[in-house]
């Protein structure tokens, strides 16, 4: 069984190895709670789709597939740039990593802009969260996801500045890795949301 | 880091530093534990006073003390404060914080800053709920739709408070899991961990996985009221029972978030005051995990009368019976530990014995309720009220009081008056039974819960229950005064007053800021009382 290697440490500084694996474990646990949080909405989706298949079939046509598809591509691409950013900082390529995080951030912003126009178009057609069960789900699911994107943007912004300033290097890049994990989750959730909401039937 | 800096630090107890900021910005797990202890005790007392008011109303069959609406508000506040602000964070956050690093031989939790952050979030939730007290809701602590979606009272504020609190609970659970995995001292293998740690671990898993579900449920309820979302509204095609499913998916596991830490406390107190190794260490340890696991699959036993299908009801009834197995395993192992032990009736031990006795009644009546035919009759009656109080007061609160008396010398470095503590225990024990045992009979006779008035035939048992609540209240008052008095006038506590083998007793009382001068090497389990016995690692 694994043993914490805190034997020789004095004071509160943790052994870097232990600190690293602790942070990693903590982040995975956090992602688990995120999945349970969205899980509630996914469960509601499954129940109501089984109950009202026609409503879902009919009303999903109001959604803009092209915009949804563009956003899916944007997020997948941003996950890729984030993954490379993590590898880069692990190899000590600070500049490259910072630029890649910036690209990820711009993608995230792009996602938000597209979503802004989508929501705007819905409101213009007088479609609101209380229009129907389908749109309740649509707004709650994408809304909660958008909130996560927003938090992700803040995290990415901070990471970018810190990477730029040289806080991280090949020996210590835990926050970048954790931020990357979070961003991948945000991406993953969208990858489920897109077909469930936009591609019915 | 190979340099063994020789520890020549002078001993400075962690309580030494004064000033409010040194508390609000502390990352010391022992201090954060105290912050939680004060906060949850505060809510326990407030919600307790509200309960006494409710019992006064119930002294007579008519509503003469408060109006029926006020009564609804009172039981809503009592339930929500007790459940979400006292009993869920209660033992887990206060004693969990204090004990986990001490017991596993660490200097602090894995993420001390996050730990402080969790407390701040708890405070934020507290502030929201204190504001909500001025416009209280009247939905009951379960916030059932459709009523909670339509009542004129302010449901949003209090649910928002509970929602915020959920984050605190999640982050605390996360912190503890990582701490237990990563921060154990050398030689502290899984099977040498004190059973309180196993219990805390199981609790943390529940906090982590169940709490987000109540989070999203409350968020949807808020959206229902503010945005007109219709998931729970039949008029919009939604389903009010869906709310119950969501709510209990969290709230049944949550009853184990409440009780498992108390079970951990009992597993620590019993062997020390029986001077015997704990019986069935592994069975107790793994049954915590077993309970946690099964508790995710029984939620619909709260909904047997809500129109769920017969097949579903039968399956959930069967699964509910399963929970009783790991629960009973614990009770049998505690009694086996007591068997032929040289028992010392310290006040903490009295609470532990009270726990075993009362929790058994609570657990068994839970099995009655899990039986379909019986539940159709007993659902939403005083039988359920009695059941839940036997498990929550008879179980968790006994465990909480036991923990307070047991670790008090270690935590505060002072002793309380033992004779007064025993008197208080006696009043609490008697008062509790006089209050709640009659409620089983009331329930069987058909007295429904959540009413300010009742038919006259129930008056004798109802007023008996109210008299009991006064004895109980007096007991808690004496206990509180005794413990607070000990802080100022108590004698200085020795390092290890009970001759316990667990790590936290091998350092000064109160512990120094970073707990251990030298991280200990653990070579044995902490229950080797009397004869020598080692559980393999
Ligand atoms: C052997 C273990 C247990 C079993 C089999 C069990 C079973 C049940 C059942 C079937 C109900 C639903 C009754 C109804 O509404 O008709 C119930 C209610 C309840 N139980 Fe338990 N229970 C157990 C342990 C616990 C524990 C450990 C706690 C808390 C520490 C607890 C707290 C509650 C509460 C608060 C309610 C009432 C919820 C409400 O307000 O409607 N139970 N229990
Ligand atoms: Cu339950």
B80-133 pLDDT, tens per residue?
Answer: 999 999 999 999 999 999 999 999 999 999 999 999 999 999 999 999 999 998
**CATH code given to domain B20-506:** 1.20.210.10
Q: Which residues pair with B68 in a beta bridge?
A: none
- Residue A128 — left, alpha, or beta (φ > 0 → left; ψ -120 to 50 → alpha)? beta
CA nearest to B524, candidates B511, B537, B505, B513: B537
Token readout for A30 is 């956090």
B244-281 pLDDT, tens per residue?
Answer: 999 999 999 999 999 999 999 999 999 999 999 999 99
* Gap between the Cα atoms of B411 and B404, Å rounded: 9
Helix ranges (H only) for chain A are: 16-51, 53-59, 65-90, 94-124, 133-165, 174-198
Contact B195, B203 (CB under 8 A): no
* Gap between the Cα atoms of A40 and B214, Å rounded: 9
| Nearest Cα residue to atom 28 of ligand 1 | B255
Q: Closest ligand 1 atom to the C-alpha of B370?
A: 10
* Gap between the Cα atoms of B389 and B431, Å rounded: 13
Token readout for B524 is 């044995």
Beta-carbon contacts of residue B135 (< 8 Å; ≥ 6 apart): B153, B154, B157
* ipTM, 2 dp: 0.91
* Contact flag A6-B106 (C-beta cutoff 8 Å): yes
Give the CATH number of domain A38-199; options: 2.60.120.260, 3.30.70.360, 3.40.630.10, 1.20.120.80. 1.20.120.80
Token readout for A77 is 């691409």
* CA angle, residues B430, B434, B436, in degrees to nearest 5: 115
pLDDT at position A20 is 93
Token readout for A145 is 């996801």
Q: Which residues of A touch B172 (CB under 8 A)?
A: none
pLDDT at position A13 is 65
Classify B512 as helix, strand or coil. Answer: strand
With a Cβ cut-off of 6 Å, ligand 1 is lined by B 142, 255, 258-259, 301-302, 320, 323-324, 327, 363, 366-367, 369-370, 375, 378-379, 384, 387-388, 391-392, 395-396
Q: What is the pTM of this model?
A: 0.93
pLDDT mean across residues, chain A: 92
* Contact flag B174-A47 (C-beta cutoff 8 Å): no
- Residue B347: pLDDT above 70? yes
Classify A119 as helix, strand or coil. Answer: helix
* Gap between the Cα atoms of A27 and A178, Å rounded: 7
pLDDT at position B121 is 97
Token readout for B436 is 């709640």
* CA angle, residues B478, B482, B486, in degrees to nearest 5: 175
* Gap between the Cα atoms of B351 and B347, Å rounded: 6
Confidence of residue A12 (pLDDT cuts 50, 70, 90): low
């Amino acid at each position: 069984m694994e043993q914490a290697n805190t034997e020789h440490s004095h004071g509160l500084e943790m052994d870097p190895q232990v600190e690293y694996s602790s942070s990693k474990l903590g982040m995975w646990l956090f992602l688990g709670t995120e999945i349970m949080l969205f899980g509630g909405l996914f469960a509601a989706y499954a129940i109501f789709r089984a109950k009202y298949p026609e409503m879902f079939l009919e009303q999903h046509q109001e959604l803009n597939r092209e915009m949804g598809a563009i956003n899916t591509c944007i997020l997948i691409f941003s996950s890729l740039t984030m993954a490379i950013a993590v590898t880069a900082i692990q190899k000590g390529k600070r500049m490259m990593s910072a630029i890649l995080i910036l690209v990820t951030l711009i993608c995230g912003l792009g996602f938000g802009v597209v979503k802004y126009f989508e929501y705007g178009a819905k409101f213009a057609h007088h479609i609101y969260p209380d229009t129907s069960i389908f749109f309740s789900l649509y707004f709650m699911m994408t809304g909660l996801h958008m909130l996560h994107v927003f938090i992700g943007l803040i995290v990415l912004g901070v990471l970018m500045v810190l990477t730029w300033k040289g806080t991280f290097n090949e020996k210590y890049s835990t926050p970048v890795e954790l931020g990357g994990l979070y961003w991948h989750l945000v991406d993953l959730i969208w990858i489920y949301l897109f077909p469930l909401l936009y591609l019915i039937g | 880091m190979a340099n063994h800096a020789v520890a020549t630090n002078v001993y400075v107890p962690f309580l030494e530093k004064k000033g409010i900021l040194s508390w609000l910005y502390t990352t010391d797990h022992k201090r954060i534990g105290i912050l939680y202890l004060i906060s949850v005790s505060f809510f326990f007392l407030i919600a307790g006073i509200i309960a006494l008011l409710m019992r006064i109303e119930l002294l007579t069959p008519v509503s003469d003390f408060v109006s029926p609406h006020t009564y609804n508000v009172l039981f809503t506040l009592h339930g929500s404060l007790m459940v979400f602000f006292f009993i869920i964070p209660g033992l887990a956050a206060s004693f969990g914080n204090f004990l986990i690093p001490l017991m596993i031989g660490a200097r602090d939790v894995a993420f001390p800053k996050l730990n402080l952050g969790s407390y701040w979030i708890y405070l934020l939730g507290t502030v929201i709920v204190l504001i909500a007290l001025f416009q209280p809701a009247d939905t009951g602590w379960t916030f059932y739709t459709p009523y909670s979606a339509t009542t004129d009272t302010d449901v949003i504020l209090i649910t928002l408070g509970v929602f915020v609190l959920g984050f605190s609970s999640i982050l605390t659970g996360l912190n503890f899991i990582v701490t237990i995995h990563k921060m154990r001292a050398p030689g502290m293998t899984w099977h040498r961990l004190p059973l309180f740690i196993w219990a805390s671990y199981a609790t943390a898993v529940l906090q982590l996985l169940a709490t987000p579900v109540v989070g999203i449920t409350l968020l949807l309820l808020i959206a229902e009221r503010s945005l007109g979302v219709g998931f729970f509204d039949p008029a919009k095609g939604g389903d009010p029972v869906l709310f119950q499913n969501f709510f209990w998916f969290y709230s049944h596991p949550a009853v184990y978030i409440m009780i498992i830490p108390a079970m951990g406390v009992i597993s620590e107190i019993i062997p020390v005051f029986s001077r015997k190794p704990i019986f069935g260490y592994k069975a107790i340890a793994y049954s915590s995990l077993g309970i946690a696991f099964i508790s995710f699959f029984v939620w619909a036993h709260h909904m047997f009368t809500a129109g769920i299908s017969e097949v579903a009801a039968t399956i959930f009834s069967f699964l509910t019976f399963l929970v009783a197995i790991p629960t009973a395993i614990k009770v049998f192992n505690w009694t086996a530990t007591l068997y032929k032990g040289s028992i010392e009736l310290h006040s903490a031990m009295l609470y532990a014995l009270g726990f075993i006795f009362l929790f058994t009644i609570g657990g068994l009546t839970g099995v009655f309720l899990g039986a379909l035919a019986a539940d159709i009759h007993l659902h939403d009656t005083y039988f359920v009220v009695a059941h839940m109080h036997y498990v929550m007061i008879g179980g968790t609160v006994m465990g909480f009081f036991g923990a307070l008396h047991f670790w008090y010398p270690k935590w505060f470095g002072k002793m309380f008056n033992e004779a007064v503590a025993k008197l208080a225990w006696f009043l609490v024990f008697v008062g509790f039974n006089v209050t709640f045992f009659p409620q089983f009979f009331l329930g069987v006779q058909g007295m429904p819960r959540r009413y300010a008035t009742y038919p006259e035939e129930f008056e004798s048992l109802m007023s008996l229950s109210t008299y009991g609540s006064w004895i109980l209240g007096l007991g808690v008052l004496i206990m509180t005064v005794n413990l607070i008095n000990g802080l100022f006038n108590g004698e200085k506590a020795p390092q290890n007053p009970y001759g316990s083998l667990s790590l936290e007793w091998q350092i000064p009382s109160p512990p120094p800021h970073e707990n251990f001068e030298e991280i200990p090497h653990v070579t044995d389990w902490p229950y080797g009382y009397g004869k020598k016995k080692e559980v393999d690692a």
